[in-house]
Amino acid sequence: MFKKLNILDEKDPHLRKVSKEASFPLSKEYKDLINRSIKHLTYSQIEYYEKKYDLRPGMGLAFPQLGINERIITIVHEVDEGVFDEYVVINPKIVSNSEEIIAAEVGEGCLSVNREVDGHVPRYARVTIEGYDVDGNKIRIRAREELAIAFQHEIDHLDGILFYDRINKKKPFFSEGEIRLI
């Protein structure tokens, strides 16, 4: 049985708060929400389910988008047609990053922003994230390109930052010579 998540809109004040660290052990409610988030994100990227349940495609979700200001993120990354890697990071921190800056050529979207926002969002091409898995074990993830963008986007949510805050209002688009577009 699939039940859509209630994802908050950008106008909700939860999305502008800095989230507090999550503590262990995680509650059954949080573990259930994590599992529902993964299922929602996976279904949103499979055309059949996207249409069946009227989902907007999305790759990541942070707990503030569900009205819970704790530092928990989930990312579902399609690595091959119908093949997904799932990431759940509790209290994530970017511990290192590349000097190279990239941006998604088509721009970024967000499940909490129900409108088109034009502009490139500069992000690090590669990041290393440290945090904890659902059982409290320390984990380290190295991400590059699209996955690195997703991690930075979701971690921003934990700090009350929305992707369009990072678009340069005076120069919203970069040329290929200024930044690598992916």
Q: Where are the domains of the chain?
A: 13-181
Q: Please say if 154 is a catalytic residue.
A: yes
Query: In whole angstroms, what is the distance from residue 54 CA to residue 52 CA?
Result: 6
Q: What would the DSSP string read from start to end of 70-124?
A: BSEEEEEEEEETTEEEEEEEEEEEEEEE-S-EEE-TT---BTTB-S---S---EE
Average pLDDT score over residue span 9-13: 97
pLDDT band at 1 (very low <50, low <70, confident <90, very high): confident
CATH code of 13-181, in short, is: 3.90.45.10
Q: Which of 105, 154, 176, 178 is catalytic?
A: 154
pLDDT at position 176 is 82
pLDDT at position 168 is 96
Side-chain half-sphere exposure of 49, counting CA atoms within 13 A: 15
Give 32-56 pLDDT, tens digit per residue: 999 999 999 999 999 999 999 999 9
pLDDT band at 177 (very low <50, low <70, confident <90, very high): confident
Nearest to 158 by CA among 110, 90, 96: 90
* Reported pTM: 0.96
Give 131-161 pLDDT, tens digit per residue: 999 999 999 999 999 999 999 999 999 999 9
Token code pair at residue 122: 């500069």
